Amino acid sequence: MTTTISVVNQKGGVGKTTTVASLGAALTERSQRVLLVDLDPQGGLTFSLGIDPEDVDVTVGEVLLGKAKPDDAIVVTDDGMHLLPSNITVTQAEEALVNRTGREQRLRVALDKVADDYDWILIDCPPTLGVLTVGALSASQKVLIPLQAETLAHRSVGQLLDTVHDVKQFINSELEIWGVLPTMYDGRTNHARAVLEAIQETYDLPVLEPAIPKSIRFAEAPAIGRSILGTSRTHKGADAYRQLAAGLLGD
């Protein structure tokens, strides 16, 4: 049974791409078959895993438009995950999808063709709530919301929850919010702890543990084309994602 998780937050810089790469690597360490989907036209996940977006011939954009099959685009990363890559041409695909029939279902239909090959599919969504993100939510069973523990960072959560509610009501009744994942977290500050308490009280959302610590190691890993589990295996940030993966696996 394949589980598909959309990693979503319309605010940029909150650790979506880092979370997809690191959680995917942690699941792969546990002998899980993992497909990562880069839905961001900036190609951040693709670049972070050692693949130059400009050198990619077939992207998720061609797959969404029906010009290519998922197998035509999927590549294998050095961390062992499979990747459906992206680059700037996905912007053109997004624009074209607006007027296409079934635009919200196209990613789900594409992923259904390869789902039997994977235990987990993790989708890195763009920092918008447009057609690509709605398509990701339509294809998923779970939503993971990375959130920097700062006041301004959580102001957009309400709008995101409205979108999730609409997708669940009109497109994908199986969609559930897995939880909020605190990222770049410094538990020594009262402010960070207060923000997490406010999220729980305001939105009644589960806050996942452990929080992902703030560390320069996360910024260094993409320069090497690996996740933090490949560059700093014993770092507390790598261990945090291992614990998150263990929770998914029921350990």
Give per-residue pLDDT as tens, 28-48.
999 999 999 999 999 999 999
In whole numbers, what is the pLDDT of the chain averaged over residues? Answer: 92
Task: For residue 153, give the 3-state DSSP assignment.
Answer: helix
Residue type, 165: H
What is the layout of strands, in order, in the sheet containing 142-148? 75-76, 82-84, 34-38, 120-124, 3-7, 142-148, 176-183
Highest-confidence range of 75-89, 152-166, 224-238, by mean pLDDT?
Answer: 75-89
d(CA 113, CA 150): 40
> Is the pLDDT higher at 138 or at 199?
138
CATH number of the domain at 3-145+213-248, out of 3.40.50.300, 1.20.140.150, 3.40.430.10, 3.30.420.40?
Answer: 3.40.50.300
Strands 82-84 and 75-76: antiparallel
pLDDT for the residue 157: 85
pLDDT (0 to 100) of residue 119: 98
Give the confidence band of 80 by pLDDT, cuts at 50, 70, 90.
very high
pLDDT for 200 equals 79
Whether the bond into 210 is cis, omega within 30 of 0: yes
Q: What is the pTM of this model?
A: 0.95
**pLDDT above 70: residue 89:** yes
What local confidence, expressed as pLDDT, does residue 203 receive?
81
50/146 Cα distance (integer angstroms): 23
Place of tokens 């410094």: 186
- What's residue 152's pLDDT? 65
Residue type, 128: T
pLDDT at 82: 98
pLDDT for 109 beyond 80? yes
The Cα–Cα gap between 151 and 122 comes to 27
The residue extents of the domains of the chain are 3-145+213-248
Q: Which of 98-107, 146-155, 242-251 has the lowest mean pLDDT?
A: 146-155
**Distance from C-alpha of 199 to C-alpha of 207, rounded to nearest angstrom:** 8
CA–chain centroid gap for 58, Å, is 20
| CA–CA separation, 207 and 186 (whole Å) | 15
